[in-house]
Amino acid sequence: MTPEVKDKIDNLLTQNKIMVFMKGTKLMPQCGFSNNVVQILNTLGVPFETLDILADPEIRQGIKEYSNWPTIPQVYIDGQFVGGSDILIELYQKGELQQMVEVALAS
């Protein structure tokens, strides 16, 4: 990963309390896993930003190195990597995701 790509990711995570690196956009997810993440965050009614990794090959590869996580989507809350679709579903079902989001948005 180039320093420029790392800086771009760092900036996105600094500027957005909830950031999702996904296939497609929040208005038009391009895979089922990305859609799951969007639906969960929409259900919580929280503001979040997305970046379409299909439109940015450098970020597509860079984010995997950044998080040391091989799959997309990737969800970050308050700059911390949370996980992908399966982890988000699990946290949502346990009620833990709501807490994480509330703490992040309050800070």
In the chain, the domains with their CATH numbers are 3-106 (3.40.30.10)
pLDDT at 95: 94
pTM of the model: 0.94
DSSP β-bridge partners for residue 24: 29
Task: Tell me the pLDDT tens digit for each residue of 30-41.
Answer: 999 999 999 999
Mean pLDDT to the nearest integer, 8-18: 96
Residue 68 Cα to chain centre, angstroms: 14
| DSSP assignment of 41-94 | HHHHT---EEEEGGG-HHHHHHHHHHHT--SS-EEEETTEEEE-HHHHHHHHHH
Say how far apart CA 70 and CA 46 lie, in whole Å.
26
pLDDT of 47 reads: 95
The pLDDT confidence band at residue 6, using thresholds 50, 70 and 90, is very high
Q: What is the pLDDT of residues 52-91, one digit of tens each?
A: 999 999 999 999 999 999 999 999 999 999 999 999 999 9
Q: How confident is the model at residue 1 (pLDDT cuts 50, 70, 90)?
A: confident
